[in-house]
Amino acid sequence: MQLSGNTILITGGGSGIGLGLAEEFKRLGNEVIVAGRTRAKLKDAEAKGLHALTVDMNDEKSIASLAADAIAKFPALNVVIHNAGIMINEKLVKANNAQIAKDTIATNLTGPILLTTAILPHLLKQKSAAIITVTSGLAYVPLVLAPTYSATKGAIHSYTMSLRYQLQGTPVEVKELIPPYVRTALMGERQAADANAMPLDEFIAEVFSILRGQPDAEAIAVKRAHPQVKAAFAGEEKYDEFFRTQSDRLMQARRAEWDAL
């Protein structure tokens, strides 16, 4: 994937990882459009020289409008980064999780699939193009506190593999970006201030180092995500041990958060 001269649409681009990617791509000489729900964040992005479009990834009509608007206003559009997502803890023994599950699946899984379906015919007409899905280390080893989120990321990983295979021989590259636990406000101020999370600027720097050094890489996994990714290929016994050890450690560290659900 070339790192300059693109026209890039990033969903969830008003904050966090999406905004970090947007700013760096713009610095490298790309035209960048961020899409999101929060108008105030989009205005802040526009003040930084980014273009902004409104979308609700939980709404099929809004997604269709985003695709049509992006193509009409930016006909050179050749890269789509599926970054928008929500992450909410769930205690499955309680009966109040149905709406959380529906919203998470719609935003994290159905939304990217619908947007890909709407924009892919346009991308196939470009000389070179790319689709980048943002999954998670939790696509490989789930976080028991956020089961539906983890499931959607696992599903997007699977969808990405199939999409890549079907687009062989076309101008469209398909990549998967696999973040670890990054210091953003995805789950609120606790995560944004968590010293255990990878600083956002370090994450962005490592991502672009991989993109420069391995331009044909299908998976972009920073070092902090390697243990989870490798565990998925370590065999059933080692995977189960990794899952249980990680889950026990995280449940102990976040017991108060769990008990409050």
Q: Give the N- to C-terminal CA distance of the chain in Å, as an integer.
A: 43
**What integer is the mean pLDDT of 5-18?**
97
Residue 187 pLDDT: 86
Rounded CA-CA distance 52/35 in Å is 6
Options 149, 159, 165, 181, the catalytic residue:
149
The pLDDT tens digits for 203-213 are 999 999 999 99
User: How does pLDDT run across 210-256, given as a tens digit for each residue?
Assistant: 999 999 999 999 999 999 999 999 999 999 999 999 999 999 999 99
- Mean pLDDT within 173-202: 92
Interior angle at CA 127, CA 203 and CA 215, nearest 5? 30
Whether the model clears a pTM of 0.75, i.e. scores above it, the answer is: yes
- CA 125-128-131 angle, to 5 degrees, is 90
The alpha carbon dihedral of 93, 189, 194, 231 has a sign of positive
Pairwise CA distance, residues 101 & 152, whole Å: 10
Residue 182, helix vs strand vs coil:
strand
Concerning whether 149 is annotated as a catalytic residue, the answer is: yes
Out of 42-46, 116-120, 172-176, 193-197, least confident range = 193-197
Pairing of strands 7-11, 31-36: parallel
- How far is residue 218's CA from residue 161's CA, in Å, rounded to a whole number? 9
The domains located in the chain, with CATH, are 7-225 (3.40.50.720)
What is the tens place of the pLDDT at every residue in 56-74?
999 999 999 999 999 999 9
**Spatial separation of the C-alpha atoms in residues 94 and 88, rounded to whole Å:** 14
